[in-house]
Amino acid sequence: MRVFTKEFWFQFASPKTFYPFAGRLIPWFAGAALLLTVVGLYLGFFVAPVDYQQGNSYRIMFIHVPAAWMSMFIYVVMCVYAALGLVLNTRLSDMMAAALAPTGAMFTFLALWTGALWGRPTWGTYWVWDARLTSELILLFLYLGYMALRAAIDDPRRASRASGLLALVGVVNVPIIYFSVQWWNTLHQGASVSLTSAPTMAMTMFTAMLVMTFAFWAYAIAVALYRVRLIILERERHARWVVELAEQER
């Protein structure tokens, strides 16, 4: 079958093939993101029951938890692309890593912000320097540092190598964030959802959270593909197919 050949997969590593392919995918993921957000927020705010301890204020969880998951997950994906770029010297991998960073930073900020708003009524404070909160803040700085380093170096190949290494160094922070609540005494509670045990929350709450997670996934993919198309055009502006494309558009 065609799908199992090396050539089939390698064609997507070429910016020229990937550009129109990404363009076709974007509307589907954008549509899915919109639909899932509406459904997820409806489930979270109207269907899920109140919590026996926190009443309604726990509902910010439906944004906070998926955002925090995405902030870590996007970083790992970004690192995989950065590593591929460093090892195989594929331009597109590096462009994908660059396209993911702003979205990851946005989700990290969202997780920190909603966490502060949730912490004030429940814990009694917006911020504490416990291991979970501090390591998540470091993640935000890693994203910002990655983007700043890229922007600071003019030569794209040197920029991608330097920022790729920075991204790889920072990946150790991800398990630290995830396991911080187990390794140390933190004010932040432990994980309600894990791969090894049943979620410690009501089923409707869990469903709403899962739907919101898929919504954020779809959003992240749509936005990253949109951004990578722009990066491709900018980086490959001297390639013949880009010049031809620009002439067609005119």
Residue of the chain from 39, 80, 122, 137 that contacts another protein (CB under 8 A): 122
Do residues 140 and 102 make contact, with C-beta atoms less than 8 angstroms apart? no
Give me 105's structure tokens.
């930073």
Q: Is 55 helix (H, G, I), strand (E, B) or coil?
A: strand
Segment 80 to 99, residues that bind another protein, using CB under 8 A: 83, 86-89
* Candidate segments 6-14, 92-100, 184-192, 221-229, binder of another protein by CB under 8 A: 184-192
Burial of 33 (0-12, 13-18, 19+ CB in 10 A): buried
Residue linked to tokens 């093939």: 17
Residue of the chain from 46, 52, 155, 250 that contacts another protein (CB under 8 A): 52
Residue of the chain from 10, 23, 121, 151 that contacts another protein (CB under 8 A): 121
Number of other residues whose CB lies within 10 A of the CB of residue 45: 12
User: What's the Cα-to-Cα distance from 69 to each of 31, 107, 170, 194, rounded to whole Å?
Assistant: 21, 9, 17, 12
CB nearer to another protein: pick between 23 and 55: 55
Residue of the chain from 11, 189, 230, 244 that contacts another protein (CB under 8 A): 189
CB nearer to another protein: pick between 29 and 164: 164
Per CB under 8 A, 6 contacts another protein: no
Q: Vertex 219, ends 105 and 196: CA angle to 5°? A: 80
Per CB under 8 A, 54 contacts another protein: yes
Question: Rounded to an integer, what distance in angstroms lies between the CA atom of residue 4 and that of residue 7?
Answer: 9
Per CB under 8 A, 205 contacts another protein: yes
Applying CB under 8 A, what is the total number of residues that bind another protein?
42
Binding site for another protein (CB under 8 A): 49-54, 57-58, 61, 83, 86-89, 121-125, 128-131, 165, 168-169, 171-172, 176, 183-187, 189-192, 200-202, 205
